[in-house]
Structure 1
């Protein structure tokens, strides 16, 4: 086991740590190095001295020590306090309380990476922490970022060249591999429209490199996708902010001082502005208690869900005699509120899920496994669940197959009345294909008499005091009883009195119909007093009284003057007198016909 000892510039302390057979040589070079010689690790620090130690057992150690001192990277000396602070800083970085260390490129270094991996070797002379020494510095010839330059052209010829494509004239392919439209006369013979040569690139790739679907992909193109999503998120935040401002303005305009239920729900969903910045409070706001680092040590709280939660199942009914709650398994099998309305209950016990969904299938699977085990099958649901499930599926398939075979056997033996064709109508009505001979009078000479169709009603059964069967009487497309002439099947028999009453009702109805028809054919004139607003019809042989007509004209002029002067118009005038023929004639004479071209020459 190596022993590590530290030696300061004091020669006495240095001699105390070294063995008696070691000698010390001092050389002025102002250096601070650490080396390992034999069994000892020696740390040397002085202002103007270089300590070279010789072990008496080996002269070659001087050379090794000198080479090691000259080649070792410079390491700053740290006191005990600095070392303790460094350890505390590393622990804080691992816990996520401090930002991670940055490398030369400004990227964060995961604090959980061990020191033997994060520290660079001494021969790299690393001045700053970095992880570049862990990266693959040799490029893989089987993978390349460059890829085929599709559609690129390199040379445009003026005339056809020997060995070129006979169709287009390019030197990079033959006529069989030409991708251009087949010309009627190729470029070899026309010597015009020579196609340019394509750019051909060759990449030496192995089997995996040729089939790598990401080979030649430029990762920088994904930045466009990120920009598009960021722009969408910004637009969404802006829209939500505008909607929130509109709601606030609307509430201020309406003067709603008392918050409504909807506003309270929105307040519950809204993020606390005292904890979250305004730029982060919209759309999935985050409240981070610790610094977010690459190592994943941060434990932030994301407040994008409802703060209120459903009532715990063990708090639904606080009665000690209610459903039992097992805190270990967090199960409550019975219903805590058995008397509540089922439509309003949110939780009805764990047993309500045992009789729905796939729980019944799982129960049937267990029962099948138990029965199969009792009958000698090596099946165990807990030891081999996949085997038990497969056996149960095969059992169901065989069961359905056996049921189908049994059904087919019974149908084949006894037939299936449901699938048979319907009997022809001739047989249903008593007709058949039997040959029957008749004479001229219609009597059957040879053959069986035609069978009469049977009624669907019971024959020779008299109900409700009837003396005849239902269907013994027919009238107006309705069947009935002949004994009482009723067409209602469940009616009670009324006998001859019912027949007389029915005939009397029929005669009365016919008389009413005849009376109505006679009334419509000979209408009687009805003299009605018509008011002045309706007017009368003017007969052709009307003779007007000239004196009454003159009075009517004066009244018409007076009426028109009253209409023009609103001050002389009476209030609520009601005319109940009749309009005479002279009044109508005066009205027609004084009326102005606006469509008449001679209206200006009438008066």
Structure 2
């Protein structure tokens, strides 16, 4: 026998139990609509349940119920199988109900179902077997029918004993509390010892309140008790009205008795008394009883306004901005931010419009200044300056102010420079009237010879310079000669103003000087093309020029090279050096030349080939 196997009755029971489990799992894996060979799915499931030890079905109804429980609920509209056409009609009907074109769906009680309720809320679960649409599954169904909203009967008494009872209050004799909790006046001798004036027992009630009932502030409040408060206020108001009425009558009687202003009563006092009798509706203080003023009730009008006196209430009769233009293609209104950027009435008169869109405020006030501040921060950051508008707004604003001050200073400095250089024509003296009126639109006709035939001859403006005045023996004026971008005199061809005229000799001398200058320029250009001679010069070993006063002796240089080699050998054999040192502090030019020739440059790529 294998290990773990059981024999006898216990083994047979275990094998039968495993077979029933296997059969049950096999039958459960089949679809609900698949028929079994034995006749039906319900019979098969009942057989499986009988194998597992479930009670056997006693009637066919149970089998049908079990088989039906496996199917989805075909009565509800949300689970029933529909064709494509039926589904399309259902969608169209729902859209029509949402748009208000079709009547809303009714539930079991005849109440309309809101078509905007989502399907996951309106559709009932399959296990409720609801054949008609309803919202009962969303309503509160765990309500206790025995729950009561009654409250304690305050001050109610139930029983009054004739004598003291054991366990009762020692002070008053009631059984519902002890002497510590007694609310009556402490007696000198308690009811326990006197057996007189036994107090009745209080009515004790217990309520099982729900979550809201335990937290209700007004639980047990009787609204009818407020009638006493109203009655008290009304009686006080009535007394105040009577008092004010009597005071007004007294003042009127005094005025009628003194029609001529006797007893020192002036006209100003009478006017003050009349003003006191009139009660201003707008100045009535609420804390001093407003019923003295005549307050009319608010009456609605057809235009949406109101008539009458309404105190402490702001009447807003302006139209909402999304109702100014009901056209669908007009300005868009965002209900989330309550903003309408565009103008809803672009064609209306701007002087009559109360609202012109939110965009008009973007270029008003300090909006442009803030925009320029942001632009300055961005441009400064791109140029390498550490500035950030959101991280350090105060720093950015201060830098922008300094930038504007510097910019204005540069502008003023540039303006002053230009005015200093070119002058200011606006502030100079006015031009002569002859220059201003030298040209006109008068019609003048001339003949072939230039004589005026028709019209008035216009006076030609005269120059501000002296004309036909020859100074320093010149026969022509300054500016009659032009050469090399310079003005001069034509008579002597001189370019210096106010110079003495030299005549033809000056012209010949100027031509000779010009020819000589041209010859010198040509000679310099010819010399400049030839390269200068390069002098051969001996270079030192270390790459520099040898000074003129330095002459190296070849024999001394050879001896210096030998000494340098000996010195390097001594450096390598430093351990063999004796205590006595042989060295000379005189350094000659040959020694320096030998040192530089033997020196190893570690950065030189050819240092390995020197030795």
TM-score of the pair, normalised by structure 1: 0.28
Higher strand fraction: Structure 1 or Structure 2? 1
Larger Rg: 2
Higher helix fraction: Structure 1 or Structure 2? 2
